Structure formats: structure tokens, C-alpha cells
Amino acid sequence: MDLSVLIVNWNTKDLLKESLESIFAYTREIDFEVIVFDNGSTDGSIEMVKSEFPDVVLIESPENKGFVVGNLEGYKKSTGKYVVMFNSDAYLKSDAFSTMVSYLEKHSNVGILGPKLLYPNGDLQESCRRFPDFTSQAMILLKLHNLFPHFGPISRYYMRNFSYDKTSEVDQVMGACLVTRRSIIEDIGFLDDTFWAWFEEVDYCKRVKDRGYINIFYPGIAVYHHKGQSFKNLTKRQRLFNTSMRYYFKKHKPYIQYLGITALWPVSMILSYLTQLIVYVFPVKKDKNL
């Protein structure tokens, strides 16, 4: 088996259907399998997969165990030489998977490959970041990145001047479509299940790079991704985000930086509650970047 496609779903029936249809319609040049882990959906996702995509390996969870556990459980069922984490709200318009597998076959030093991501309207979705540092993450916790998006540490972290038109070595790529090698997973492990959401792919990208591989952004093909999320349940999302950030710093950074991030936790939560109140009065939408 050339490629295992891991998809974690939670109540995204229509988007999941679009994603699966695109995979089976466009992937032609390789042998592949699709494994869907459903996190206790109640919108008919399970019934849709069973009736319309009988070749999909479906894992049903009675509760929402999160993105990380879903991918780990999906991986246990997989057999592909390469593994791709693919969001349920992402879809193809070309044989992108075959192209990415071919690239990895030719470049044995590449540990992770991420394609160009586009919004459904064709606009670019910025998908590369540098590894987190204390200053940029502190500013994000304090919401200052929204006020000063081009300030040095923030601009550097978000790679504001990065060219998405050429193949480049990067620190991390977005987990919406991240291809890696089974041999690497067997060597260093896969996602760390201490993360429930956020920073799980950052941690994996860092461990792969620390192992001596390079991570590549590859614009030779594009994947489409419905990224936007509403501000609903902002405080819960903020709590999960903060928890993951703290763990990342505890795992990869000096202890003094971990303490600094921890100290900012209550301020960050107060700001999220205030933002939640403002959004309740003036509804808006925002993407995953808190």
C-alpha cells in the first residue's frame, strides 16, 4: 500500500462527503486506503460513510476523543508506506496525493511534506510557521498579534514574507494536509496524545526535524481547505489552546519560558471572556488563530 489517508471527523457530514468524493475521484496513480475516525458524530456522518463509501475503513467512537487520538487510532489500522493526515474539511481537485508520494520517493531526506493550501474561492491560505518562541506566543496569548500583525516576533513566527510560490524547507506545515513516512513514525512515534488539539503537528514537525529530516512546503500541487470557524465556544477553545501551548513549552523550551507562559494563562482567559462578550453583542467570524 502506497498511502494511508487518515481523516478525523466530528459532525462535518457534508464536508466529509465532499472530501471523500474528491479523494476517490482524483487519486489514480497510487494504491491507497482511507481511514475515517468518527468522534461520536450525531449529524448522520457515520451512516453516510457506510452507505456511500463502503471501501472506507470506518472507526466509530461513542464520544469526541479529539483530533490527536483520532489520528493515532486511524494510524493503528493503516498499512501505507506513507501516511497523510487530511482534514475532513479539505478536498482535492487533482491527483495531489500521487504527486506528493512521488516527491517523497525521490527525496529520502524529506520527513514531512505539506502542499499549498487554498480556500474554496482559490485564495491562498497561509500554512507555514516557524517553531514557536516565547515572545510571539506571549503576544498571541495577550491578543497583541491582532493589533500588531507585522511586529518583529509575530511577523517572523507567521512568516509574513514567505513565498508560497516555491518549494522551501520550513519548520512546520499545517496539519490540514501533512504527509509523512511510516518509517519515521515507527522510529520516533506519531502524534503525542497529551495534546488534545493545537500544537500536535507543531510538536511532530519539530521531532521529525530534530531527528535529522527536513520538512518541505511543496506548491507543486494544491489542496482546498474550508478553514474558517466561528467564535462559538471561544473560551473552551482558548483553554485547550493554552493547555497545548504550555505543554509544548514544557516539552521543548527552557523551564523559565514554560513558567512565563503559565503565568500568562489567567490574563489570556480573561481576555477570551471579554472577547466572547464582545462577539455575543457584535457577531463576527475568525479562523483557527486565536
Q: Give the cell for residue 236.
A: 473552551
pLDDT at 105 over 50: yes
Q: Which residues pair with 115 in a beta bridge?
A: 218
Report the 10 Å Cβ neighbour count for 104.
Answer: 21
Average confidence (pLDDT) over 15-31: 97
Average confidence (pLDDT) over 206-232: 87
Q: Is the pTM of this model over 0.85?
A: yes
pLDDT digit string (tens) for 231-257? Answer: 456 778 889 999 999 999 999 999 999
pLDDT digit string (tens) for 58-89? Answer: 999 999 999 999 999 999 999 999 999 999 99
pLDDT at 146 over 50: yes
Report the pLDDT value the prediction gives residue 42, as an integer from 0 to 100. 95
Report the pLDDT value the prediction gives residue 283, as an integer from 0 to 100. 62
Burial 42-67 (b: 16+ CB within 10 A, else e): eeebbebbeeebeebbbbebeebbbb
Report the pLDDT value the prediction gives residue 231, as an integer from 0 to 100. 40
Report the pLDDT value the prediction gives residue 285, as an integer from 0 to 100. 54
pLDDT digit string (tens) for 147-173? Answer: 899 999 999 999 999 999 999 999 999
Q: Which residues contact 131 (CB under 8 A, 6 or more apart)?
A: 171, 172, 202, 205, 206, 252
Domains and CATH numbers, the chain: 3-126+162-227 (3.90.550.10), 131-161+229-290 (no CATH)
pLDDT at 230 over 70: no
Give percent of the chain with pLDDT exceeding 70: 93
Report the pLDDT value the prediction gives residue 280, as an integer from 0 to 100. 63
pLDDT digit string (tens) for 160-210? Answer: 999 999 999 999 999 999 999 999 999 999 999 999 888 999 999 999 999
Average confidence (pLDDT) over 125-140: 97
Q: Mean pLDDT for the chain?
A: 93
Report the pLDDT value the prediction gives residue 228, as an integer from 0 to 100. 56
